[in-house]
Structure 1
């Protein structure tokens, strides 16, 4: 990824930041041709992150299933940088006005216990991280974005990053018996007592640790690192429904526990 921003890319980053700050959605058709490729999209995302002027809390990985890759005409995942205060410890309360057009996903969140490098194997990552159950709330600065937002605009918009609500964090190698075991957790997504979705971790590139491994390698290719304390929302177990007002709960097996979220009318 080259480091030189074009004038157009700088302008797109500013428009995204203004939409983020004022909660005023953009029209995807207005910007679709201004971010022509993935490298340009990541440059815009990096500039947007700088404009936010907040500590970097970590990343989210998107398009981690065959189904979502097909929806966005992609053949690989993508990532979005997330500011620190967008990672919330459960149980959490979120006001409707905090987000624009959010979805809700169930995920595993990994936290680096030390700097992770492209040389790390899946086994290394297994020992160098904590894991927690999570609800991720993807959100976009574009109106009517899901599932029609062009992939490059998804990347530019911090991988449609919203909020991540995470549960109890424990050493990954104490929760699971092996790397392969990380692919086996199941989860149920419940809204106001009604079960909406069930999913399994293997939906995430076959194993969520592979999502983390992909991210570390992608960051290295851009001369970046995942450092100690940063978190990664690794990909959804289910095709996400829209987030609506009420009580949301994700229940995981493997003694991972539950994550609870209250969405209020402000």
Structure 2
């Protein structure tokens, strides 16, 4: 079988260096032990996107669990500026870290978590880079979500470098999601998904308002970006996988207590309790 230059180059981008493999193993150890790493100890290990995603892929393999879906980060100009980026990035999320509302997360399950309010999509069939936004609306279910970003690095927000965020599975923690419904049943057009508003509460006190238009103008744009990115990397988004598509608001520190996110347009609400025990 003929091996093209492109095949050779693609293979080269997938092969981990010794230092990249060591970083993936350290991240996995921190994922298991909750003993945080210091980014300064790994300076120069991942200096570009290919290296960062290689480390993430190895970290995902080490978790030895089915990938339940993905989270998309840096979907607003403000968050891209914070991490010196001009595009989104993604992280693979294991199946057990997508959990349905209402749920209690224990402090021992977390490291330095944040709370973000998002729209979650679930693929009803395999998705393709050729899918239009209208196709994606038809091929997905949608649900309200609170994503809980959490890093294996100490003092990570907002100082962790973009490539380390990528390597650390886009600082994936948990995704708590509400009731799923067919997206085209809840929304009669693509544009309607850009008009969802949310409110985030902690122990009954409203902290912030947010809007779906913060997510690349429309959360479906985020989903479409991810589908194309994954396909480019040879790992298409499959039926049943979920996507937390990007935050409606700047994150809050996830402290102990009762959290609630409410959404208009019939999307519903998400309930999350964080317990110190």
TM-score bucket (shorter structure): over 0.9
Mapped to 1, the partners of 2:77 and 2:40 lie a distance apart of 26
SS of equivalent to 1:248? strand
Q: Does 1:153 align with 2:174?
A: no
Mapped to 2, the partners of 1:32 and 1:80 lie a distance apart of 21
1:135 deviates by: 0.4
Matches within 5 A, 1:1-266: 2-266=13-277
Contact 1:81 1:158 (8 Å CA) reproduced: yes
Mapped to 2, the partners of 1:37 and 1:129 lie a distance apart of 32
TM-score, length basis structure 2: 0.95
Mapped to 1, the partners of 2:136 and 2:49 lie a distance apart of 27
SS of equivalent to 2:165? helix
Q: Which structure has the greater CA radius of gyration? A: 2
TM-score, length basis structure 1: 0.99
4+ residue stretches of structure 1 with deviation over 2 A? none
Mapped to 2, the partners of 1:255 and 1:126 lie a distance apart of 16
SS of equivalent to 2:128? coil
Q: Which runs of no fewer than 5 residues in structure 2 stay unpaired?
A: 1-9
Q: Which runs of no fewer than 5 residues in structure 1 stay unpaired?
A: none
Deviations 1:164-200 (A, max 9, x none): 0000000000111100101110000000010001000
